[in-house]
Amino acid sequence: MSKPIVVGTNGSAGSEAALAWALERAAAYKLPVTIIHAVDDRWISPDFQYHELIRQAGMELLQKAQADARGQAPGVEVDIQLRHGSGGSVLREVSKEASMVVVGEHDKHWMDGGPLTDRALQIASAAEIPAAVIPLKRGAGNSGVVVGVDGSEESLQAVDFAASEADKGGDELTVVLAFRRPSRWVENQLPKSGLAESILEEDRIVLAESVAGLADKYPDVVVHQRLETDADPARALVDAAKDARLLVIGSRGRGGFSRMMLGSTAHAVLLNVPCPTIVTRVHKVKHED
């Protein structure tokens, strides 16, 4: 049986946008959808006289979302679940039984009362499956898939995921590599050398190697390479994807600490998502000495 797409809801416009996107994806990929609403354990204690009212309100919210979803996507199987626990604990459980988790960017709250910015970051960090963050408003365009690459072996997993998405959606793929040069003041203090040119040539090679083999695996996908030589990586991705159908980023990349589940670039992008953005679960590659 296919694992469902799980989408969190709280009745806000942000979660409605997330549900609409999840339903579109489910219809295209022939997957079921599970809508989840979670409340903190503290609100379901028998000692709290309103715990039954909170549970009932949660179920009513879910039932309305389910009815709306079935109206939007009649061919998609839609299930609902009321979960108890913190956002992190619920997410860990959800990750075991889903193919993707989806949240809306602009929700004020999602799981246990925190701002969604925190929830989106927590979800992308903790999920063992791809996590999608959906903006409330999409750009004027709706075509193309953009993915960031940094030369790490781990980032190649994100490139392959993005290429697969482009292939299934009939989109062109843009692979972006960006780096920030030292400030002009610093550069002026350095002795003349060919270091800048060497770094530029190295990144050209890295970018080319990142897309090597895609033509054989995905022959119908048109691939564009985009090298930004003086740009913050997160800003370069946000700018490149402003009119895209989808942006794909790895959960961490080159130079990241293994204990940090979300890299600095992914973190920055999620604070400014330009379009539906999927954070892939990057598996750490073991390097031989």
What is the Cα–Cα distance from 59 to 173, expressed in whole angstroms?
41
Give the pLDDT mean for 161-170.
97
Least confident of 5-9, 121-125, 196-200: 121-125
Least confident of 108-112, 154-158, 189-193: 108-112
Give the residue, 117 or 152, on which the prediction is more confident. Answer: 152
Residue 49 is predicted with a pLDDT of: 66
Least confident of 122-136, 175-189, 221-235: 175-189
Helices (H), the chain: 13-29, 51-72, 87-95, 116-126, 153-169, 184-189, 195-211, 214-217, 233-240, 264-270
Contact 256, 285 (CB under 8 A): no
Give the pLDDT mean for 166-173.
97
Give the residue, 259 or 126, on which the prediction is more confident. Answer: 126
Query: What are the Cα distances from residue 176, in Å, to 57, 167, 282?
Result: 45, 18, 17
Residue 262 is predicted with a pLDDT of: 54
Residue 141 is predicted with a pLDDT of: 74
Strand pairing partners for 248? 147, 278
Q: What is the pTM of this model?
A: 0.84
pLDDT in tens, 94-115: 878 899 999 887 654 444 434 4
Q: What are phi and psi of 226, to 5 degrees?
A: -130, 115
Which range, 115-124, 139-148, 155-164, 246-255, has the best average confidence (pLDDT)?
Answer: 155-164
The Cβ of residue 54 has, within 10 Å, a number of other Cβ atoms equal to: 15
Q: Could you give the domains of the chain?
A: 5-134 (3.40.50.620), 145-280 (3.40.50.12370)
**For the chain, percent of residues with pLDDT exceeding 70:** 73
Which range, 68-72, 100-104, 155-159, 205-209, has the best average confidence (pLDDT)?
Answer: 68-72
Q: Quick check: 189 pLDDT over 70?
A: no
Least confident of 49-63, 85-99, 135-149, 168-182: 85-99
pLDDT in tens, 230-269: 788 999 999 999 999 999 998 764 544 333 345 788 888 8
Which range, 37-51, 145-159, 247-261, has the best average confidence (pLDDT)?
Answer: 145-159
199 HSE (CA, 13 A, CB side): 13
Residue 176 is predicted with a pLDDT of: 96
Residue 263 is predicted with a pLDDT of: 72
Residue 123 is predicted with a pLDDT of: 67
* 40: helix, strand or coil: coil
